[in-house]
Amino acid sequence: MATCSPSKGLQFVLNCMFFALLALCSNAHAQNYPTKAIHLVVPFTPGGSTDILGRSIGQKLTQAWGQAVLIENVPGAGGSIGADRVAKSAADGYTLLMGHIGTLAVTPSIYPNLPYDPIKSFAPVAWIARVPNIMVVHPSVPVSNVRELVDYLHSKPNAINYGSGGNGSAAHLATEYFKLQSQTTMVHVPYKGTSPAVTDLVAGQIELVFTGAPAVMAFIKSGQLKAIAVSSKNRLASFPDIPTVQESGLKEFANFEADQWYGIVAPAGTPQSVIAKLNAQINASLNTPELKTRLQAEGAEATPTTPEVFGKLIVSELERWRPVVHSSKIKPD
């Protein structure tokens, strides 16, 4: 019969005590957290959707916990500079990243030598919101729905010039994904931002833009632009008459979805108890009428869920956008 030596028995007890102590320390850390200011890095300039959403969440966390949430705008290289700063920060819950589809799912395919890994470098905390894209055309374009647009593009390849906020922008990726799925061709006209692209669309200098709802909502309501479809699975509550791309009935769009999305991540290794506390408070904030109204004004839909679900989204979106980036040969500016 095998016996356990005293030394092995003692080591087993010590190991148990060590892991029990770790658990107690982690729980105590979470109970006291936060005891100082939290830094939320927004990897883009102030004023954009990522910044607006980050400040909205930061304000709610400050109100709930009485500790300041400091917004740090760290733009550059498609958001990778700010993301890398967070990836290399202490994993204690006091430095967070306001990430989005670009920094966590698209940029890794555009920048071959990215200094961080979107999966290994971060711990998912909370999925904040999704912002559906709306495809709009100038009224002179002789199409009114997705099926008519695809037929038009097949009969007249490259007849449409489409605008975006630049190479690798959400509008660029959404349109290239549409092209890839439908096997159609359009000419990309990159701008230095979404606003000038939409301005030229209204003026008839280009024919199509497929971008976030906030940038085009007013022009749809005024009749200056014609809405073709939304990129989400479901129609927008603010525009219930605009069908989804999936509703076109074309088999190539049966699973089409190309929304922008935003979420918070922490450095890998951040205690799960801290992540759970952050997630619970952020979800509670997203469910308040005030924040729901603010998000709707931005054309966004709150998406409170678990860190695990958000993590699966990041993985699936990396797989979705990699072939789009490669097929469209998108290069960093």
Last residue of a domain, one of 253, 286, 316: 253
* pLDDT at residue number 162: 98
Domain-located, residue 23: no
Reported as a single tens digit per residue, the pLDDT across 223-258 is 999 999 999 999 988 899 999 999 999 999 999 999
Nearest to 150 by CA among 184, 186, 188, 187: 184
Are 196 and 137 contained in the same domain? yes
pLDDT of residue 286: 97
What pLDDT sits at residue 20? 55
Q: Which residues of the chain have pLDDT under 50?
A: 1-2, 26
Summarised one tens digit per residue, pLDDT across range 54-70 is 999 999 999 999 999 99
pLDDT, residue 161, reads 98
Provide the domain limits for residue 66: 37-131+259-328
Cis ω for the linkage preceding 34 (within 30 of 0):
yes
Report if residue 7 sits inside a domain: no
CB atoms within 10 A of CB 305: 17
Regarding whether 179 and 140 lie in a shared domain, the answer is yes
Say if residues 212 and 133 touch (Cβ distance below 8 Å): yes
C-alpha to C-alpha distance for 330 and 258, rounded to whole angstroms: 17
The tally of domains found in the chain comes to 2
